[in-house]
Structure 1
Amino acid sequence: MRFLGIGDYNDLGAMYYGLARRGHEVRVCVANPAYRDVYGGMLDFTADWQAELGWLREAGEDGIALFESATQGQTQDALRREGFQVIGGSAFGDRLEADRAFGQQVLQGFGLRLAVTHGFTAYAPALDFLRRKGGRYVLKFNGADNPRTRNYIGELDDASDMLALLATYAAYPGTREQPDFVLMEFVQGVEAGVGAYFNGSEFLSPACLDFEHKRFFTGELGELTGEMGTIVSYRGSDKLFAASLAKMAPLLREGGYCGYINLNMIVNEEGLWPLEFTSRFGYPGFAICEALHEEAWDRIFRRMLRKDGLQVATRAGYAAGVVLTVPPFPYTHGYDELSKGAPLSFRPGMTAADHAALYYAEVERRGGHLVTSGSTGYVGVATGTGDTVGAARDAAYALARQVVLPNLRYRTDIGERVERSDLRRLAEWGWL
């Protein structure tokens, strides 16, 4: 088969590499120049993905375009109208992720509970609102390409911490364009996500249940990086999926969506409180999910496009993923001086199965050796599986300790909260 990967950062590099190693033809276009060395010496690259469309069309049903981001949905829709096979998302999916108020409005139409959300395109009215109302809110910037580190979860009931932050953003806007953000009422509970593959008409089963750990440091301290590690399972998601994401099928069908989609939620004794959509492959979510797959991506993609089956072969139990980074992650400033080009080594006894469970991100092969590349120090994710969360976590950390790299950092508590309380609370509330 032929695969054309299209994105800004080569986020699906590990997937492309796996497809190439299984004998498929893979070409990748990386739009951001700072990431064009990611998987250098390991994949074939093209500077212009549109120039490869003829090559892709020649493969017929065996030619697939893979889009990584939630910013090119209109392009994907246009390619589908021209007869190309595309997996990624759609214009409708882009809007679900980028426009938080729109996503919430859609979910409200299905009767889901919503945390009260207020949208703003300037700091002054947001500051005035907080002075009048007070309370705890979550700050989230709209747009799929906004840095997660600018988001903030308010901690003080009088909103003084959020007021101070927004006042700082207003006073020092830098070179950023007009702000576009929401203040969402803080809701206490278990944060969990459900995701599934949509083939343009229907969802494939089973859906995935995930528990992300978004802060940089152990103990839920530090920046909101997006994801420092996750626990996933393809078992136990049925009730949560049916009550939330499954309701989206008619709208996704109408919007021409084809790809993976995830809905993140807060779950408590009152019910489900949806937070946001991820209308694309999650990073490193796709790699952690793959650890539980019993069939390769090419077979899953072929089934989605041909619509000749609605099942994905998966293993029971759990997968844990631990994100490996080097300084200055989650930022880019100083990466060239601090960490770029650092060599990866491995402790004795590293097996072929261990290597297969390690999914690289910003690395390249130089002179026969793997070194760090890219722009942020996101080295990859170590995965492990097991019948329990604890067993999966232990396997992932055993693998992480096999990696030797100057200034390597990772959280040491991925999955502890899930095992200690999250699963129990979801069961008590009747969701598991």
Structure 2
Amino acid sequence: MDSRNFLFCSLDAALVGDLAWQVKREGHDVRYYIEAESDRAIADGFVPKTDDWRAELDWADVVVFDDIWVGSDVGTGELAAELRAEGHAVVGGTPNTDRLEDDRGYATEVFEDHGIDPIPSEVFHDFDAAIDHVRTNPAPYVVKPLGEVQNVKRLLYVGREDDGSDVVDILRAYEKSWGHRMKGFQLQRRVEGVEVAVCGFFDGDGFVEPINFNFEHKKLFPGNIGPSTGEMGTSMFWAGRNRLFEETFGKLEGWLAEEGYVGSIDINCIVNENGIHPLEFTPRFGYPTIVLQEESLESPTGEFLHDLAHGRNPSPEVHGGYQIAVRVVLPPFPFDDEKTYDESSRNAAIVFDTPDGSPPEGVHIEDAKLVDGQWRAAGESGMPLVVTGTGETMADAREQAYDRIDRVLLPNCYYRDDIGERWVDGDGDRLQAWGYLGP
């Protein structure tokens, strides 16, 4: 493929630096715009930057948006739709697909309109009404904040008590501490089973094959303990249009084509012997999921993004086994504590225990920068690296990833050491036994 011009846009937090770096390493011209002042140094030294993304539109062959947020507001879908109408090739959503993530009630309507049965849930804008609902309908619930505050991942709460009493306590606490920022929240019944995400790349007309199936690890500590972080790691594999796909995105393909959606889109589900229960949409790249997807592509990433944005139904070659990604973080992640970050993590040097000091294969940047040849932590979030591994089995992928992490020398870093274990310990067997992974 000839060299192309790629414009990557982070209109809120900087998320897509590694993808931009990969495309640049493949020989394409890249410019990266970051809106958040606190994140401006992320990816410095790895990719060229621009201070005005709109000024680069005529230069760009492909525009890539990394999230649905424009600051504290939803909006990249609207921007992407406007740019497409002007003739630009864009990887990004639409106003309606942005709503799938921002408005959980709307997402539920979309599921139901297309014959997909979501887990029973209800959206509330009043804490007292939600507490009355739990007391009238006692059960374990999941509390999911809506709007901008949903990005504070530790606010997601999974109820443990059968009568919902712990959820009542949590709602009372949230009302006092977060009520001024929460524009609403969803109460969703907790369902037991295997949590798995169905993820497809859509080119404006249909899904690209193969399909990606991934498993998020959201809690901070091994064993799925501690605060929710967004994600500490991902395990995955690629497959065809199996039952998991056909009973979720297979029913939404026409709607997404009408929308003209382009990019990655994900439905996280709970699956058990009784059926597939969708939880939520992610109508954008997932993080660090996109890093692992990029690692497992065996054909050029830039060519794939270019063909996707131009509606050319790409056929990427992917790794045929299993893959895992591990997020390597620094204090005070996942919390905000400027003093701790300044003392322990800001500008931390990242060193690699390799013969020539270069990073081993599978080490990817997240909140990192390159200064005079030295990798350093950047930004304010304490998420400098993602380390990946691949293998013919999930155990092989785990071994490779953690061997690579052993060669990363980063004082004070921490990470989960159990990414992929759920698959090995039985999730894969259960999905196969229930008939979801066949052709």
TM-score for the superposition, normalised by structure 1: 0.94
Distance 1:138 1:76 in 2: 32
Superposed CA deviations along residues 269-312 of structure 1, whole A, max 9, x for unmatched, are 10000001110011110111122211122111222234334422
SS at match of 2:417: coil
1:340 to 343, 346, 349: 346
TM-score for the superposition, normalised by structure 2: 0.93
| Corresponding letter in the other structure for 2:348 | A
Distance 1:21 1:182 in 2: 42
Shift of 1:358: 0.8
| Corresponding letter in the other structure for 1:19 | V
Compute the RMSD of aligned alpha carbons: 1.6
Distance 1:384 1:41 in 2: 25
Shift of 1:370: 0.9
Shift of 1:157: 1.2
Q: 1:236 to 1:76 in 2, by over 3 A?
A: closer
Distance 1:146 1:121 in 2: 18
Q: Which moved more, 1:149-158 or 1:123-132?
A: 123-132
Q: Indicate whether 1:164 and 2:169 are aligned.
A: yes
1:142 to 140, 146, 156: 146
2:270 to 266, 269, 276: 266
Superposed CA deviations along residues 153-198 of structure 1, whole A, max 9, x for unmatched, are 0011121211111101112237x43431100000000000111110
2:405: which partner in 1? Answer: 400
Shift of 1:235: 2.5
Q: Within 5 A, what are the aligned runs for 1:17-416?
A: 17-56=21-60, 63-71=61-69, 72-143=76-147, 146-173=151-178, 176-235=180-239, 238-334=242-338, 335-349=341-355, 355-416=360-421
Q: 1:349 to 1:158 in 2, by over 3 A?
A: farther
Q: 1:147 to 1:47 in 2, by over 3 A?
A: same
Superposed CA deviations along residues 72-130 of structure 1, whole A, max 9, x for unmatched, are 10011001001111002221210111111211221122322221101011212112222
Shift of 1:51: 1.8
SS at match of 2:414: coil
Superposed CA deviations along residues 251-282 of structure 1, whole A, max 9, x for unmatched, are 11111211110111000010000001110011
| Corresponding letter in the other structure for 1:323 | R
Q: 1:308 to 1:68 in 2, by over 3 A?
A: closer
Distance 2:182 2:230 in 1: 23
Distance 1:173 1:249 in 2: 37
Distance 2:183 2:138 in 1: 21
**Contact 1:194–1:262 (CA under 8 A) maintained in structure 2:** yes
> Where does structure 1 lack aligned partners over 5 or more consecutive residues?
57-62
What percent identity do the matched residue pairs reach? 35
Q: 1:348 to 1:194 in 2, by over 3 A?
A: same
Q: 1:382 to 1:232 in 2, by over 3 A?
A: same
Distance 1:11 1:98 in 2: 18
Aligned length: 424
SS at match of 1:156: coil
| Corresponding letter in the other structure for 1:68 | D
**Contact 2:141–2:190 (CA under 8 A) maintained in structure 1:** yes
Superposed CA deviations along residues 26-47 of structure 1, whole A, max 9, x for unmatched, are 1111111111110122222122
**Contact 2:147–2:183 (CA under 8 A) maintained in structure 1:** no
Distance 2:423 2:182 in 1: 38
Shift of 1:349: 4.2
Distance 2:313 2:131 in 1: 52
1:422 to 387, 405, 427: 427
Shift of 1:386: 0.4
Q: Indicate whether 1:431 and 2:436 are aligned.
A: yes
Q: 1:115 to 1:333 in 2, by over 3 A?
A: same
